[in-house]
A and B are shown apart, each in its own frame.
Chain A
Amino acid sequence: MKGSLWAWIWHRITAVLLVVLVAIHFSIMHFVDPTAVITFADSQMRLQSALYLLVDSGLLVLGLYHGLNGIRNVLLDYWPNSGRVATWILAVVGIVAAGYGSMALAAFLTQ
């Protein structure tokens, strides 16, 4: 199969996973204690649980893939020749953002 078809399929797979992950993330962060001000200690405590760490890592990686691939789809709609350049630039943005975000998750576990 061509790469663009895989991109299309992964866009849908990540979409379904993100619906579930975003619902969990939003419920915990906004509905459990709506007036709480987030602190390092609270976040650290949440991220000690494997489930929440999995949810946050999943949101980071799947969200970046889905969002940046969506931007790529928009670019290709208006500039059909931008394919390779757009893919590379967005891939670099995604990898850098995922790496930097992972450093934050790691900081909560090690500090």
Chain B
Amino acid sequence: MERADSARNRPVRNYADLNPRYYATGMWSHVLHRISGIAITVFLLLHIWEITSVVRGGAEGFTSKMSDMAAKVWVIGEWLLFLAIVFHGINGIRLILLDLGWGTRTHKRAFWVVFVLSAIIIAFGSYFFLMRFLAYPWSA
């Protein structure tokens, strides 16, 4: 516990190391994982607010809320969420494997595998989002 206590009391916190100019592969993984994670959590809270329209407005309230959401601008939002979730999930699997001690010597190569796998799943899923984007009006 000595180490945890010294981290707690460390007097200087260096924010300058957040400058992307100095990122190596592991730092890109860390920062992208963090940004996508925060974005997904914010979405989750908004999503709960959107779905609980059924508590506030009953069946009609929910159905009208959902038809309001059937607009191109929200499809773009859903697609961005899809990108964040696919990356966060696949990179997260890589992080868990690293925690288990698996692939620590090849973690940089594994980060590129994460990108390729994400790109394949995103390409597959984007077709469905494009269908939805084309079918919906700009504003409901």
B contact patch SS: helix
B73 contacts A by Cβ under 8 Å? no
Chain A interface size band reads: 35 or more
A68 to B48, CA, bound (A): 14
Q: Which 4 A-B pairs have the closest CB atoms?
A: A67-B41, A35-B135, A40-B59, A38-B66
Out of B8, B41, B62, which one reaches A40, CB within 8 Å? Answer: B62
Out of B4, B9, B66, B135, which one reaches A39, CB within 8 Å? Answer: B66
Chain B interface size band reads: 35 or more
Nearest-Cβ distance from residue B129 to partner chain A, whole angstroms: 7
Nearest-Cβ distance from residue A40 to partner chain B, whole angstroms: 4
A106 to B52, CA, bound (A): 10
> Given the complex, which residues of A lie within 8 Å of B52, measured CB to CB?
100-101, 103-104
Nearest-Cβ distance from residue B127 to partner chain A, whole angstroms: 8
Nearest-Cβ distance from residue B5 to partner chain A, whole angstroms: 10
Please choose the segment from B21-29, B92-100, B102-110 that sits at the chain A interface, where 4 or more of its residues have CB less than 8 A away.
Answer: B92-100
Out of A12, A26, A30, A71, which one reaches B99, CB within 8 Å? Answer: A12
